[in-house]
Structure 1
């Protein structure tokens, strides 16, 4: 794999495993509203989508007002359970450090709220490694819209031709494609290699160490 000037990472299932916290939060909201028969795997398959889209997929509900109420309830649950139930993957910090030592820019592009990522990163990632976090509250259109990616490129003063986007899901592959930049998939999550290989990519990686 060639060397890039900038590396933009998805967060959930790319840099960190927050699936335990996500499942807890979704299940608390779903069960409160008597949505039963939804498996943990079904919940995990929605990771990377917006909360509204995830709840719509899981429940079949299309009413925007109901979905917005579910989203608000999820955020309250996440304030209690998310950070304590999120762990960086074993290689995350060492890979980010190695890329930074080579002079790369490091950014995170996520549908997760920026403050939630910062809450975890401040205690787990050495200061100065992450240059930029673009969270769900920073954009008008969520991934796979390239809005967050372009915002990151503008703020980092770099361009898409020297940037690699790394993610675990189809949403991430579509985001990179929409932005017109190189994509590398990582198999940390629920999306298979075959699913990711259907999209333009420079690599499908078992873990982040392959970036080095």
Structure 2
């Protein structure tokens, strides 16, 4: 297991052989975003609350909403309301996005281990990618609130289905 503490990364950078080659067997690492790289639950909850309220629904509790993180927004809507109508799911998505555009980036916490991990992968020339149901621009937004090394060194972001 790789330990991603900052001191380990600094030691690796000072090693003259650090750029020779990737000693690991991995050529690429693919990450899920939510609960792997960051916790966006506060922004998700606020956006779900806003969208459901605009549509006349009461919002379930925080824990129940958090269980839907990672689902497509239409699935989130169906799980939380029992309503599988596509037009209503589209309205929910639009309202969710309206609020998320205002609050999601500032309410998302990037985990402390992320930057040193990505620094390590860059040193080892391991390509990184993110798979997420979040919109691509949403992940790029986090750079404003965190010095996101992952954004500058990210090879691809795949699987964005919002």
| Pairs within 5 Å for 1:69-148 | 69-121=91-143, 123-126=146-149, 128-137=152-161
Give CA-to-partner distance per residue, 1:116-146, whole Å, 9 cap, x none: 1011136522364211112525xxxx8xxxx
Higher alpha-carbon Rg: 2
| Pairs within 5 Å for 1:26-105 | 26-36=48-58, 38-105=60-127
3-state SS of 1:27 partner: helix
The TM-score with structure 2 as length reference comes to 0.78
Aligned positions, number: 138
Shift of 1:61: 0.2
Report the Cα distance in structure 2 between the residues aligned to 1:9 and 1:37, rounded to whole angstroms.
30
The TM-score with structure 1 as length reference comes to 0.60
Unaligned runs of 5+ in 2: 2-23
1:11 paired with 2:70, answer no
RMSD over aligned Cα atoms: 1.9
Unaligned runs of 5+ in 1: 143-212
Shift of 1:14: 1.0
Report the Cα distance in structure 2 between the residues aligned to 1:19 and 1:124, rounded to whole angstroms.
20
Contact map agreement 1:16 1:88 (CA 8 A) in 2: yes
Shift of 1:87: 1.5
